[in-house]
């Protein structure tokens, strides 16, 4: 059975970040929390020099499509619950 790969891309707004250092603190904390809580790979992929915005890519691999979809849904819910960041948009792709 081939592996199922799920990709979740999230555009995030960080309203209280007034410089890159503050943004990095929020993004780094969120990335670590997502990795530890959901066993996913996470990377900041766009808007690296924008102090108030970030784009994160989250990947999960498993042999069950429903499991991958469930994990990525939980990742999105966790991110939406982050009080220091606002999810402005998200896109999920299953390969």
- Mean pLDDT, residues 56-75 taken together: 97
pTM (two decimals): 0.94
Taking CA atoms, 35 is separated from 13, 27, 52, 90, in Å, by: 20, 12, 22, 18
- pLDDT tens digits along 4-57: 999 999 999 999 999 999 999 999 999 999 999 999 999 999 999 999 999 999
- Order the strands of the 53-62 sheet from edge to edge: 41-46, 53-62, 4-13, 86-94
Q: Which domain holds residue 60?
A: 4-94
CATH of the domain at 71: 3.30.70.1120
Q: What is the spatial distance between Cα 68 and Cα 16, in angstroms, rounded to a whole number?
A: 32
Q: How many domains does the chain have?
A: 1
What phi, psi does 81 have (nearest 5°)? -85, -5
């Amino acid at each position: 059975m081939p592996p199922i790969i799920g990709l979740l891309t999230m555009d995030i707004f960080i309203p209280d970040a007034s410089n890159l250092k503050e943004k990095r603190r929020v993004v780094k904390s969120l990335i670590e929390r997502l990795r530890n809580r959901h066993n996913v790979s996470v990377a900041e992929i766009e808007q690296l020099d924008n102090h108030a915005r970030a784009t994160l890519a989250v990947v999960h691999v498993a042999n069950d499509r429903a499991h991958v979809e469930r994990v990525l849904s939980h990742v999105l819910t966790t991110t939406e619950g982050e009080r220091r960041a606002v999810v402005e948009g998200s896109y999920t792709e299953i390969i």
